[in-house]
Amino acid sequence: MNKKIIIIGAGPGGLQLAYYLEKNNMDYLILEQAKNAGHTFEYFPRHRQLISINKVYTGFDDQEVNMRYDWNSLLSDEHSPLLKDYTDEYFPDADHIVNYFKDYTTKHNLKVDYDAKVSKISKDGMFHIETENGTVYTCEKLVMATGVNTPFIPKIKGIENCKTYVDTSVDPKDFINKSVLIIGKGNSGFETADNLVPTASKIHVCSPTPLKLAWKTHFVGHLRAVNNNFLDTYQLKSQNAVIDGNIAEIKEVDGKYNVTIHYGHANDEIEELVYDEIIICAGFQFDASMFDESAKPEMTIMDRFPNQQSNWESTNVNGLYFAGTVTQMRDFKKSTSGFIHGFRYNSKCLFHMLHKDEHNVNWPTESIELSPESITKEIIGNVNRTSALWQQFGFIGDAIVIDKKNDKADYIHNIPVDYVLDTYCKDKEHYFIVTLEYGHEVFEKSPDIFNVTRVNRDDVANADQSAFLHPIVREYKNGEVVNVHHVIEDFENKWDEEKTHIQPLKEFMNICLKQLVSANV
C-alpha cells in the first residue's frame, strides 16, 4: 500500500496532524499497533490521574481563549469534541481521554489502520514500513508520532535488576513496611511516591540534580503541585527524604539493595543505604529500534530524542518527520511541546509545512496596511485571545513581514519562531516576531516565587522588567534583532489599555517604520 504521508501512532500528536491532512484532502494514513486510538493512555499515567488541566468553567465564550485552559483537547475548526464534554474533573481520570480520542477519530473520519504494529522501517528513496502482520506500506514522507514510550535507564552499575515506573505494582499494599528508593525527581517519581506514603516505611527520592518546581520554572514537566504532597512528609520529618546525589552502585545483598550514594550537598560525603525496593522513574525515551541503518535517525539529549530541524524533520533522514511529545526536543524543558496543550499546535504547524511541500499552499497570511496603527491593532487583538502563543510561550509566535514595495505587511499567525528565523523569513529583509514570554531573569533573582515584585502598571519605561507572561515584539533586519519592545505585564493578562499597552507599542512601531511609511505617520 502506497501513500504520500504515513503517520505511525494514533496518539494525540498523530491524530492532530491527521485532522488537518483529512480536512485538506491530502493522501495519508495512520498506522496504529493497538485496536483503538489513544492506546497509551489506557496504561499511562500508571495511577490514572492526568496532570493536564481541564478547566470547564472559564467565564469566556470565546473558544480560542478557552483553549488556554483546556490542556487535553485537540484542535478542530468545529471545536468538537472537547474533553469537557466527557468530564468536568479539573485533573481528569485517564479513562476519559481514551474515550475522547476514540470519538475524535470517528467524528472527523480519520484514516487509521489498527493492529498494524511496525516491525521494520527502511528507506531507498521511498520509506518501506513492514508490520508484524505481514503488510508492507510505502510512503514519500513518514511522520513518527509514537511518543517517548521506552523507560530511560540511567547508567548506574547494578541498575539492570531494578523495577521501573512501567512495570512496578501500583497497589500500595505491596509495599507495606518496606523501604523504597525512587530514582528520578519528575512527576512520575513523585506520583509513585505519593501513592506509597501511607504504606511504605520510608521513601527516598533521588537524582543528581536539585528538585525543580513547575510553579517556579513555568515548565509543566517539572514537579507539579498535584504531585508534591510528598514534600510535606520530607520537610516535616515523616521518614521520607529528597536526596541530591549520584548513585555510584547498586548491589543486591540478601534480598535487599545496598546503594552507594555520593551526596551533592554534604562535602563529598559517601554513604551506603539499604532498601527493600528500587523503582526507576527517570523519564522516557524514543524507541528507534524499528529503524534499519538506511532510515535510522540521529539521536540527541542523552540519546532520548531524535534530532530535529525547526520543521521537525530529522537532521539526517530526509522526509522523516516527528509529531507529538517527541517534538519537545526543539524546546526541551523550556516550553510545552512535551504535552498535548503544546504539541497540538506543533502538529498544526507541521501540516502547513507539509501542505506547502505537497501542494505549494502558502502558510495562511493576512495582508494589512503598512502603518503603526494597523500593525499595533493586529498585535493587540491577537495577544488578547491567542491560545497558541499562550501555550507555546517563546516557541510559537506571530511573524509580521514588511513588504515596502507594495506598501503592506503580511501577518502570519502561530508559526514556530525558529522556523521563521531559519526558513520562512531567511531571505526577508525586514520583519517582526511577536511572542508571549515570562521574564525568567526577574524570577531567577527572586528567592521566593510567591514574593516577586511586579512592575507598576504605569511604569511602561521599565516594561522589560515584567516578570509574568507578557507580549514581546522583536524587530529583525536581515536576520538580526535590531529593536525589542515589551508590552508591560498585566495582572489579568489583558493588554488592551490605551495608555499602558497600546500607545507605547504604537510609538515603537512608528520608530521602526519611520523610514518606510508616508509623512502621515
d(CA 434, CA 426): 17
Alpha-carbon distances of 68 from 37, 267, 377, 392, rounded to whole Å:
24, 45, 21, 10
Number of neighbours of residue 480 by Cβ within 10 angstroms: 7
- 518 pLDDT above the threshold of 60: no
The per-residue pLDDT for range 201-216, each reduced to its tens digit, is 999 999 999 999 998 8
In the three-class reduction of DSSP (H, G, I as helix; E, B as strand; rest coil), residue 100 is classed as helix
Alpha-helical segments (H) within 386-454: 388-391, 417-419, 440-445
For the chain, list the domains and their CATH numbers. 2-149+284-359 (3.50.50.60), 159-280 (3.50.50.60), 365-513 (no CATH)
Q: Is residue 506 within a helix (H) or strand (E), and if so which, with residue range?
A: helix 503-513
Encode pLDDT of 102-119 as tens digits.
Answer: 999 999 999 999 999 999
Pairing of β 299-300 and β 305-306 = antiparallel
- Segment 494-516 shows an average pLDDT of 93
Angstrom distances, CA of residue 398 to CA of 50, 414, 451: 30, 5, 32
Nearest to 186 by CA among 283, 91, 278, 277: 283
Cα pseudo-dihedral 215, 217, 222, 227, rounded to 10: -10
Q: What is the grid cell recorded at 89?
A: 474533573
Residue 235 to residue 215: CA distance in whole angstroms: 18
DSSP state of 472: E
Mean pLDDT score, 390-399: 98
Contact 4, 358 (CB under 8 A): yes
Tell me phi and psi for residue 441, to 5 degrees.
Answer: -65, -35
pLDDT digits (tens, 9 = 90+) for 334-366: 999 999 999 999 999 999 999 999 999 999 999
> Residue 176 pLDDT more than 60?
yes
pLDDT for residue 86 is more than 50 = yes
**Which grid cell is 280?**
526507576
The CA-atom distances, in angstroms, between 73 and each of 52, 85, 338, 515, 518 are: 10, 10, 15, 45, 46
Cα angle vertex 336, ends 306, 309, to 5°? 35
Mean pLDDT, rounded, of the chain: 95
- Phi/psi of residue 418, each to 5°? -60, -35
pLDDT at site 515: 66
- Three-state DSSP at 343 gives helix
The answer to whether 241 and 234 have CB atoms below 8 angstroms apart is yes
Answer whether 39's CB lies under 8 Å from 134's CB: no
Is the confidence at residue 479, as pLDDT, over 70?
A: yes
What pLDDT, on a 0 to 100 scale, did the predictor assign at position 521? 38
- Read off the pLDDT of residues 419-450 as tens digits, 9 standing for 90 and up: 999 999 999 999 999 999 999 777 777 778 88
Judged by DSSP in three states, 307 sits in coil
What confidence score (pLDDT) does residue 519 get? 34
Reduced to 3 states (helix: H, G, I; strand: E, B; else coil), residue 439 is coil
Q: Is the pLDDT at 52 greater than 60, yes or no? A: yes
8 A C-beta contact, residue 143 and residue 6: yes
